[in-house]
Structure 1
Amino acid sequence: MPLLQINAPGSGAPNSPIDLGAAAGPLAAGSGPIVIMVHGYRFAPGRGEDCPHRHILSLAPSVRDPKAVSWPRGLGLAPGQPIRAIAFGWQGMGPVRRAWDNAAGAGQVLAGLIAALHRIAPHRPVQAMAHSMGARVILSALETLRGPGLARALLMNPAAYQSQARRALAPLNGGNTEVISVTSGENDLFDLILERLVPAPCRGDRSLGAGLPGQDRFVTLRLDDPHALAALARLGHDIAPPAARICHWSPYLRPGVFGLYRALLWSPERLPLDLLRSKLPQDQPPRWSRLWPVMPRGARLRRPLPARDTGGIPA
């Protein structure tokens, strides 16, 4: 079985459905990276159709949802392979503020898992990928770790703040971690919702969708930028152009993206960060740049958010 399921305590399902102790031998005997996959908001293990292990983190999703695209399958996992990945579940249901706090706590659990993997299989790099608020889980883990951490993290439309990413990538924390932030103007509305529902930790802070200027180990990949898509095509990765003006799930629904993710996570030497930075545009266009062409001249966004926190951003 190539995939382990590990859940943070309090997630609504038993912790570690497949005991990590029993997996220690196969993990140590294996080779190559171990990839940890982290879901975002509005998922929780054991919650019926909202269980990530029946949805995006399953090898064979049982949920009838067009967004239930299997990340493990996309990454090339198949039954009969040795352990190569871990599906990490946490309690992401409820109001945004509650899920936001839960994500930080889940990050501490994830830090313990990463440390355990390094003890069990020190020869295997540990990578991670996450969508939306799952990025906060990963960044919280990097803030907690004081030893070997993640070699590379792939954050898809991250629901997190710039200040946390800077702390997470500080030398004492994730000092050697490379972060690739996959974003798109399709997600501008959701970035705004995050900034309105979750107060910024410090003045001038913005969501990570705005990039992270001045950070050498951070690269932004905008899937709505035709120059970025052309550069990726020249590197051998043809990704379909955006099909919507607003979409939170585009980074894992877009045809062609998983071929890129396989290269980024399983064979990072094929796409080193310096190469990506030299080929991909790093300038961030203004927010709403994808919407302006279809909005009447002089139009203004009115009441883009609910008056109170009764729900929030889907992930």
Structure 2
Amino acid sequence: MPILRLNAGPEGLVLHGSPAPALPTLRNAARGNGPIIILIHGFKYDPGTPRFCPHGRIFGHTRHPESAYHTQWPRALGFACGHADEGLAIAFGWRARGNLWRAQRSAWAAGVALAQAIHTIRIVAPRRPIHAITHSMGSEVMFEALHHLPAHAVQRIITITGASYASAVKTAMETPAGRTAELLNVTSRENDVFDAMFEKLIAADVPQDRAMGAGINLANAVTLQLDCPRTLGALTRFGGHIHMPKRRVCHWSGYTRPGALRFYARALRHSEDLQLQALQDALPDASAPRWSRIFAMPHMPSDLLGWQKTAS
């Protein structure tokens, strides 16, 4: 069973499209071999609404005709390819429609359900590595789950243009589960408009806090700014051949950009070849300032200004 489709329902975990109980199915699926990678979508999806169901779009097998930015995550991450060691993908759905405040509350509830799923896997298969990859507000689901998990529950987390405040990330990564996990914070100045909207609409608990797109400074984290040529050049040393962006504003290019999901698959499946310290040493020390893809900031360092012109 290379792909297991789970949803966070009102009463906890449910199987997508099946009345069978979720936990026995999850226990059975977890007894296999290979890595377990949890896929978590972001805002505007809802597994209970066919038109917006992530299992028929980014978690599906075929291109959805109504989704302009559709990319099938499971196959791009190495699942359903017929390989004996491909492991298990858990496509995790949650109700992310409505306004941002409602979606954030739903994400927190979904995080509790996700923690239950990870607990179940750990009991059945304590030696299997568990990783997670999220987009947008899916980061809130994963970071909430860390608050309900023990140390070593999750090995590596990739957040693609995450919709979380930096302080919330720091708090989650200081939990027992967070301290023993590694975080790859994928950002892009293409997402600046969406980061600014998040900060405008969702009140921060910490004054002057910024969305995680501004960068995360933690010993067990690294920020990958995918519209920075120096970053993309450094990633080629680790087998990452990701195309430069073609848009100034885009919320989805972190996974639709050619080469991006292939690199994430490598980062999750072959972490020994992409060690965190090596990534930290190879990447630029600081992210470009917000709006640098739209405006040439007067105070921008000349080297960053140069790559901004090239990227635009």
TM-score, normalised to structure 1, is 0.87
Q: CA deviation at 1:113?
A: 0.9
**Aligned residue in 1 for 2:310:** none
Offset from partner CA, 1:104-153 (integer Å, 9 cap, x none) = 11111111111111111111011000000000100011122234421000
Q: 1:26 to 1:171 in 2, by over 3 A?
A: closer
Q: Does 1:188 align with 2:192?
A: yes
Taking the aligned partners of 1:171 and 1:227, their CA distance within structure 2 comes to: 32
Amino acid at match of 2:8: A
Q: Does 1:96 align with 2:119?
A: no
8 Å CA contact retained: 2:154, 2:177: no
8 Å CA contact retained: 2:39, 2:91: yes
Taking the aligned partners of 1:154 and 1:239, their CA distance within structure 2 comes to: 16
Q: CA deviation at 1:238?
A: 1.2
Q: Does 1:168 align with 2:178?
A: no
Q: 1:148 to 1:234 in 2, by over 3 A?
A: closer
Q: CA deviation at 1:24?
A: 2.2
Taking the aligned partners of 2:28 and 2:8, their CA distance within structure 1 comes to: 22
8 Å CA contact retained: 1:54, 1:63: no
Taking the aligned partners of 1:152 and 1:189, their CA distance within structure 2 comes to: 27
Q: Does 1:267 align with 2:266?
A: no
Q: Secondary structure at the match of 1:174?
A: helix
Taking the aligned partners of 1:253 and 1:273, their CA distance within structure 2 comes to: 24
**Aligned residue in 1 for 2:7:** 7
Amino acid at match of 2:284: P
Match of 1:289 among 281, 287, 292: 292
8 Å CA contact retained: 1:190, 1:248: yes
Q: Does 1:159 align with 2:163?
A: yes
8 Å CA contact retained: 1:55, 1:63: no
**Aligned residue in 2 for 1:40:** 42
Q: CA deviation at 1:63?
A: 4.4
Q: 1:64 to 1:114 in 2, by over 3 A?
A: same
Count of aligned residue pairs for this structure pair: 292
Structure 1 unaligned residues grouped into runs of 5+: 295-315
Match of 2:25 among 22, 26, 40: 22
Offset from partner CA, 1:266-307 (integer Å, 9 cap, x none) = 11111010011011113022110111149xxxxxxxxxxxxx
Q: Secondary structure at the match of 2:291?
A: coil
Q: CA deviation at 1:171?
A: 4.5
Match of 2:257 among 254, 258, 262: 254
8 Å CA contact retained: 2:27, 2:120: no
Amino acid at match of 1:10: P
8 Å CA contact retained: 1:59, 1:77: no
Return structure 1 stretches of 4+ with deviation > 6 angstroms.
Answer: none
- Percentage of matched positions with identical amino acids: 38
8 Å CA contact retained: 1:45, 1:52: yes
**Aligned residue in 1 for 2:136:** 132
Q: What pairs with 1:59-74 in structure 2 (closer than 5 Å)?
A: 59-74=61-76
8 Å CA contact retained: 1:118, 1:148: no
Taking the aligned partners of 2:125 and 2:228, their CA distance within structure 1 comes to: 39
Q: Compare 198-207 and 61-70 and name the one that shifted more.
A: 61-70
Taking the aligned partners of 1:126 and 1:63, their CA distance within structure 2 comes to: 32
Offset from partner CA, 1:67-112 (integer Å, 9 cap, x none) = 1210001112126567511000001000111001111111111111
**Aligned residue in 1 for 2:111:** 107
Q: 1:6 to 1:81 in 2, by over 3 A?
A: farther
Q: Secondary structure at the match of 1:292?
A: coil
Q: Compare 66-75 and 150-159 and name the one that shifted more.
A: 66-75
Taking the aligned partners of 1:61 and 1:5, their CA distance within structure 2 comes to: 18
Q: CA deviation at 1:163?
A: 1.1
Amino acid at match of 1:102: S
Q: Does 1:197 align with 2:201?
A: yes
Structure 2 unaligned residues grouped into runs of 5+: 298-312
8 Å CA contact retained: 1:10, 1:90: no
